[in-house]
Amino acid sequence: MAMTKRPARTQDVPIPIDVRARTITDIARLAGVSAGTVSRALSGSSLVKPRTSEKIRMLATAHGFSPNIAARNLRTRRTGAVGVIIPLGHEAGQHISDPFFMALLGHLADALTDRGYDLLLSRVLPSNKDWLAQFVDSGRVDGVIIIGQSDQSAVLDEVASRYLPIVVWGGHIEGQVYCSVGSDNKLGGRLATEHLINKGCRRIAFFGDAAAPEIAQRLDGCREALAEAGIDATIDYLPVHLTAENAHPAILARLSENRIVPDGIVAASDVVGMSALRALSEFGLSVPSDVRVVGYDDLSIAAQTTPPLSSIKQDLATGAAHLVDILFRRMAGEATESVVMAPSLICRSST
């Protein structure tokens, strides 16, 4: 059979099924309906006849079609994304890969994914006062979760007073305007300290930098517990940063100063606690017989140290669930109250 060459005319060429339909209009043409119908069919509207709807869905999946999100966002004035912001105000050295941030972030990702929302991660070094307002006004997200007040509570208050869908992870501070979810840090510090006192410790040290409000509250609780127990020794406060790289040498240095060695240590985080364990071991002191150590956060690493680290547990899974739940309620226009969760002591071999 002889082949006849002829110019391809558009109408001669059937649309190949494997060409990816890009827009809703493409699908509409294929299905012989209008774009509006396709939109409704794909969003599961009951306005379209079941037969039509099914045909459209078949076509859509056959062509691997997925609607353009930017266009949808523009029209619906929603984004389907939630911003998670980590302000690193007081400790420039503190990196986003801090295990605590990451653990909470993981839970948030899970909770948001479950609700079909995207998570827009943003690490901010708050240089000017406008960082949050800018982010909020850019319309990239439907709501914002801030992990840690850092030293930015003034900024948080200001934005929260005009922008409803925002929630902050952190301890509750007297007079704050914004809505927060966190655990009772003062109580946590107290629990740790009382536990050490009960175990017989009398010379108690606190390792952690009280520049962050959460840490300051823990230190407060620690002091209160000591005062109530009638122990008048001033607490041995060592303001170490929360990274292992900083904490370990600082702790070693303190131990070497040959002042009185503490017999109980409250660490402001598990990472600091872990560094303390290591430093003590290197210094020839054994845990718990010479010194007892309590960490904070009860991350999964706490259970894996040698010896396993006692720790003040903040239930991050519940915390993340609260954060997301409250955020969605606020996105729906509801005013919500802050949540303060009770921390609990997890007792392991280090005490």
User: Which residues lie near DNA (CB under 7 A)?
Assistant: 22-25, 32-37, 39-40, 42-43, 46-53, 67-68, 71-72, 74-77
Asked whether position 67 contacts a second copy by CB under 8 A, the answer is yes
Query: Can you tell me which of 28, 59, 226, 301 binds a second copy, judged by CB under 8 A?
Result: 301
According to DSSP, the β-strands at 264-267 and 292-297 are: parallel
50 preceded by a cis bond (ω within 30 of 0) = no
Alpha-carbon gap, residue 114 to 7, rounded angstroms: 52
> Which lies closer to a second copy via its Cβ, residue 249 or residue 260?
249
Q: How far is the CB of 47 from DNA (least distance, A)?
A: 4
Q: How far is the CB of 277 from a second copy (least distance, A)?
A: 6
Query: Can you tell me which of 29, 55, 57, 95 binds a second copy, judged by CB under 8 A?
Result: 95
Could you say which DSSP state residue 45 is in? Answer: -
Q: Return the half-sphere exposure (C-beta side, CA atoms, 13 A cut-off) of residue 270.
A: 26
Asked whether position 300 contacts a second copy by CB under 8 A, the answer is yes
According to DSSP, the β-strands at 310-313 and 344-346 are: antiparallel
Task: Report the partner that residue 306 touches, choosing among a second copy, DNA, none (CB closer than 5 to 8 A by kind).
Answer: a second copy
Q: What are phi and psi of 305, to 5 degrees?
A: -80, 165
Query: Can you tell me which of 2, 8, 70, 332 binds a second copy, judged by CB under 8 A?
Result: 70
Tokens of 61: 């999946």
Asked whether position 97 contacts a second copy by CB under 8 A, the answer is yes
Q: How far is the CB of 202 from a second copy (least distance, A)?
A: 25
Q: Return the half-sphere exposure (C-beta side, CA atoms, 13 A cut-off) of residue 118.
A: 12
Query: Can you tell me which of 25, 34, 43, 134 binds a second copy, judged by CB under 8 A?
Result: 134
Asked whether position 139 contacts a second copy by CB under 8 A, the answer is yes
Tell me the residue type at 113. T
Task: Report the partner that residue 48 touches, choosing among DNA, a second copy, none (CB closer than 5 to 8 A by kind).
Answer: DNA
Tell me the residue type at 253. A
Alpha-carbon gap, residue 208 to 140, rounded angstroms: 36
- Give me the DSSP letters along 274-289: HHHHHHHHHTT--TTT
Q: What are phi and psi of 296, to 5 degrees?
A: -145, 135
Tokens of 95: 């990196």
Asked whether position 81 contacts a second copy by CB under 8 A, the answer is yes
Alpha-carbon gap, residue 144 to 260, rounded angstroms: 47
Asked whether position 275 contacts a second copy by CB under 8 A, the answer is yes
**38-46, 172-180, 182-190, 301-309 -> range binding a second copy (CB under 8 A):** 301-309
Interface ranges with a second copy (CB under 8 A): 20, 64-71, 73-74, 79, 81, 95-99, 102-103, 105-107, 109-110, 113, 118-123, 130, 133-134, 137-140, 243-245, 248, 271, 274-275, 277-278, 281, 300-301, 303-308
